[in-house]
């Protein structure tokens, strides 16, 4: 087994730690956590450190910190010629301290402390500056997930942006659904089965096949009546822009 | 059992017919279909008619036609003092022909021919002009689903609009995710687990708790780098508007 250290104690660090604890390829010998309490429930407290000079030597350092901190943390690792893999979607590996062999180990998922996830179903996108290291990282990734993809920097960035659309923005639309339910005194739960089916459909139909609704049909009467009903200017603006986008997209098909 | 007729043969009509065929309250004695082929696989062809003067007398007529056709169809039913329930989200019941007792029986779901659905998990929103009829319709609805809600016209309209946000618009964002994947040569499937988890989260977390991402964090560096990367003006515009909406919403929390 390869000895590895996880730097970070947030959602990604915790899910990765749990996944590696079941891996036959990786032995997590230490976790760096500014706040040790964050992670004490998952690992022997003697293995948690909060100073960079306490970091011990390992083959791999997984940097699971906020995007803004990745580059700085990479330079604080007091070793060189190690494999340093960060888990961020949007940080170019050439920005990391070149004293180590840098790469990305990007799990394409939304992590919350309150939700347990089956890591084996999470796609992990791998990028590494030294092509010769790819195979080793792939073996490590395959020890925790069935879904491993080799990507370029641009692809990783594109995946991160697409994730913003299908996760962050989608969740915000759920939020608008909740606002409308609150303002009209119906239960948001009425929308739950629709939300689940919308997501389930996309596993078997492509988005063009799955698209329905007044914008898709060009049903201006319904669209106008919806816009008349909405009083929140922000909701109206989003309704108009997305409706127009669906109509324009339909014309291209 | 109450005798009922379904008018329409599209997705809603077909799913409703299948649900009522298992109901102990409703006996579907006839289906009106302009194109009989649409529905022949689901019911004895002798029970399918395509002329309004062939409609036989029943207690209830379910009008499952396109929004634009609901009102006209209601006037073509050659009976009066029957219960006429339409399944559209956005059609006011007072627009239907008043010779019958009008109401709405609105299933809040997205229906596709290619997907089988468990009707018992689909919320049905009921509205009826004669309050005294509500209980009977509720019993009928409860014979096909566990989820029955009494709503007003305004609530039904609001639910329909919210459904546009959480289904039509969400699916369009999935479509943009697919565009980005096509343009950057990564598999759209990489986003599948994220899409499923985003939808699953909303069952246990409210949208504010579930929100993550650069807009939620106010991470302008990532936002700017995403906008630099996107070349499609429509994607950029949607990115900007939804990012601003998430930022503004965060300020109100």
A66-104 per-position pLDDT tens digit: 999 999 999 999 999 999 999 999 999 999 999 999 999
- pLDDT at B114 (0 to 100): 86
Which residues are CB-contacts of A200 (< 8 A; sequence separation ≥ 6)?
B115, B196, B199
How many domains, chain A? 2
The total of other beta-carbon atoms located within 10 Å of residue B44's CB is 8
- pLDDT at B244 (0 to 100): 98
Domain that holds residue A180: 156-252
Q: A129 pLDDT band (50/70/90 cuts)?
A: very high
A171 with A201, same domain? yes
B128 with B189, same domain? no
- Determine the 3-state secondary structure of A187 from DSSP: coil
A129 with A35, same domain? yes
DSSP-H helix ranges across A143-191:
153-163, 170-183
A8 with A75, same domain? yes
pLDDT in tens, A157-175: 999 999 999 999 999 999 9
Closest CA to A165 of B171, B244, B163, B221: B171
Question: At residue A248, does pLDDT exceed 90?
Answer: yes
B102 with B162, same domain? no
B205 with B89, same domain? no
B145 with B168, same domain? no
For residues A170-183, average pLDDT: 98
Q: Which helix (H) or strand (E) segment is A69 a member of?
A: helix A67-76
Taking CB atoms and an 8 Å limit, are A201 and B112 in contact across chains?
Answer: yes
Please tell me the distance from the alpha carbon of residue B146 to that of residue A223, in angstroms, as a whole number.
31
Give exposure, B137-156, as e/b (b: 16+ Cβ within 10 Å). bbebbebbbebbbebeeebb
Cα of B53 to nearest chain A Cα, Å: 29
A21 with A77, same domain? yes
A72 has a chain B CB within 8 A of its CB: no
Which residues in chain A have their CB less than 8 angstroms from residue B236's CB?
none
A67 with A106, same domain? yes
The count of residues in chain A is 253
Look up the CATH number of the domain holding residue A104: 3.40.50.720
A232 has a chain B CB within 8 A of its CB: no
186-225 of A, contacting B, C-beta below 8 A:
186-208, 210-216, 219, 221-222, 225
pLDDT in tens, A220-243: 999 999 999 999 999 999 999 999
A127 with A166, same domain? no
Taking CB atoms and an 8 Å limit, are B174 and A207 in contact across chains?
Answer: yes
A145 with A58, same domain? yes
B147 with B173, same domain? no
List C-alpha distances in Å: B33 to A213, B115, B121.
22, 21, 26
Choosing from A151, A181, A212, the residue where a domain stops is A151
The total of other beta-carbon atoms located within 10 Å of residue A125's CB is 24
For residues A107-115, average pLDDT: 92
- pLDDT at A162 (0 to 100): 98
Which residues in chain A have their CB less than 8 angstroms from residue B228's CB?
none
Please tell me the distance from the alpha carbon of residue A127 to that of residue A243, in angstroms, as a whole number.
37
Taking CB atoms and an 8 Å limit, are B110 and A197 in contact across chains?
Answer: yes
Question: At residue A29, does pLDDT exceed 90?
Answer: yes
- pLDDT at A61 (0 to 100): 98
Taking CB atoms and an 8 Å limit, are A175 and B249 in contact across chains?
Answer: yes
- Determine the 3-state secondary structure of A238 from DSSP: helix
Cα of B56 to nearest chain A Cα, Å: 32
Choosing from B132, B151, B170, the residue where a domain stops is B151
Taking CB atoms and an 8 Å limit, are A187 and B149 in contact across chains?
Answer: yes
CB A116 within 8 A of CB A135: no
CB A162 within 8 A of CB B181: yes
Taking CB atoms and an 8 Å limit, are A147 and B193 in contact across chains?
Answer: yes
Return the percentage of chain A with pLDDT > 90, whole number.
98
Which residues in chain B have their CB less than 8 angstroms from residue A180's CB?
158, 161-162, 165
pLDDT in tens, A184-211: 999 999 999 999 999 999 999 999 999 9
Choosing from B101, B123, B151, the residue where a domain stops is B151
Sites in chain B below the pLDDT cut of 50: none
Give exposure, B170-198, as e/b (b: 16+ Cβ within 10 Å). bbbbbbbbbbbbeebebebebbbbbbbbb
Look up the CATH number of the domain holding residue A205: 1.10.1040.20
CA B178-B179-B182 angle, to 5 degrees, is 85
């Amino acid at each position: 087994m390869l000895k590895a250290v996880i730097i970070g104690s947030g959602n990604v660090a915790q899910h990765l730690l749990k996944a590696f604890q079941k891996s036959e390829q990786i032995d997590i010998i230490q976790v760096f956590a500014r706040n040790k309490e964050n992670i004490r429930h998952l690992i022997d407290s003697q293995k948690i450190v909060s100073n960079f000079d306490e970091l011990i030597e390992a083959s791999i350092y997984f940097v699971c910190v906020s995007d803004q901190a990745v580059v700085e943390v990479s330079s604080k690792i007091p070793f060189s010629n190690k494999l340093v893999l960060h888990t961020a979607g949007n940080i170019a590996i050439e920005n990391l301290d070149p004293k180590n062999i840098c790469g990305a180990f990007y799990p394409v998922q939304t992590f919350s402390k309150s939700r347990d996830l089956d890591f084996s179903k999470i796609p992990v996108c791998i990028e590494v500056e030294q092509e010769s290291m790819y195979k080793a990282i792939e073996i490590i990734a395959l020890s925790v997930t069935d879904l491993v993809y080799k990507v370029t920097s641009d692809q990783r960035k594109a995946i991160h942006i697409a994730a913003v659309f299908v996760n962050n923005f989608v969740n915000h639309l759920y939020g608008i659904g909740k606002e409308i339910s609150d303002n009209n005194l119906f239960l948001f739960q009425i929308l739950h089965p629709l939300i689940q089916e919308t997501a389930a459909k996309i596993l078997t139909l492509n988005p063009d096949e799955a698209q329905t609704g007044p914008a898709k049909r060009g049903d201006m009467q319904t669209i106008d009546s919806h816009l008349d009903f909405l009083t929140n200017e922000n909701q109206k603006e989003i309704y108009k822009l997305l409706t127009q986008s669906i109509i324009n997209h339909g014309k291209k098909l």
